[in-house]
Amino acid sequence: MFNLMKSVRYSLVRSKVYIITLLSVIGMAFLLVHGNISDPADLKKITGEAYFSGFMGDMYIMSIIAMLILSSVICGADAGDKTLNYELMDGHSRNSIFVSRILCNLWWSGGMVTLLMCFPFVLFSCVNGVGKSAVLRDMVLRYVLSLFPTFRLIMFFGMLAIVLRGAARGGALSYACLMVTIILEVFLSFQELGDGINYLFGFQNGAFLFKYNNARSMVVEGEQMMVTDYSLYPNLVGMTCLVSLLLGALYLCISYIVFIRSDRD
């Protein structure tokens, strides 16, 4: 299994897809931040905390695109070019091939999301400071919680690529699903669905974790800063974990059944 993971890593780091995806999302993140400030001088005012509360939710949605591309490539490309066939013919069991793909998907897609989300935060914190109103424990909790919907989404994109046996096919369907859910989410937001809407879609759940309520500017100890209400409530934490793990496990099971049972022609 480790040989397979080494082999996947070898081809992934040599693939242009990884670099292009990473650079594109970094570019989009730059545009996002740049587009939200009227005066370039304000860039100096964006502390780590301000970035976290102001941009992290949007950044999460952007990194989903990167997650989608990578998951499709890791789980689907090797089916398209018969790499999986030759792994089987090399004497690797279907179980070890499946597990290696899932672990690689989690490591590389999850890794890229982490990199994309944490890098600007670290950068702004280093340049402009973390910010005085920041509660580190809260930020860590929000970030750790976001790993659950990330897991759910990675499993979903991976499942589509495995079932459709191709990176392009899997990626296209994943993108279509993502767009449909975004439209649905807009429509459903007008309905009285209560809390349920937050867990219905993985991207929405992830982005919601970075939402701060009632952001307002206040002067504390002679310094103007952004203050927000604490918005992580126990139900949100519990349901995020539960729904994400359940759906992630369901997608994993479907992928496994399809992968193990089908002939590879």
* Burial state string for 8-29 with b = 16 or more CB within 10 A and e = fewer than 16: beeebeeeeebeebbeebbebb
Residue pointed to by tokens 């994309």: 116
CB nearer to another protein: give 8 or 209: 8
List contacts with another protein (CB under 8 A).
3-4, 6-7, 10-11, 14-16, 81-83, 85-93, 263-265
Alpha-carbon distance of 174 to 92, in angstroms, equals: 28
Identify the CA nearest to 154 among candidates 101, 224, 90, 219.
101
CB nearer to another protein: give 89 or 176: 89
Alpha-carbon distance of 35 to 23, in angstroms, equals: 18
Alpha-carbon distance of 47 to 38, in angstroms, equals: 16
Using DSSP, state whether 228 is helix, strand or coil.
strand
Q: What are phi and psi of 45, to 5 degrees?
A: -90, -10
CB nearer to another protein: give 142 or 165: 165
Residue pointed to by tokens 């890794």: 111
CB nearer to another protein: give 34 or 82: 82
Shortest distance in whole angstroms from residue 38 CB to another protein: 43
Q: What are phi and psi of 33, to 5 degrees?
A: -70, -45
CB nearer to another protein: give 77 or 207: 77
CB nearer to another protein: give 4 or 243: 4
CB nearer to another protein: give 83 or 114: 83
Q: What are phi and psi of 14, to 5 degrees?
A: -90, -5
Q: Give the count of beta carbons closer than 10 Å to the beta carbon of residue 203.
A: 21
Shortest distance in whole angstroms from residue 254 CB to another protein: 19
Alpha-carbon distance of 109 to 171, in angstroms, equals: 14
Shortest distance in whole angstroms from residue 261 CB to another protein: 8
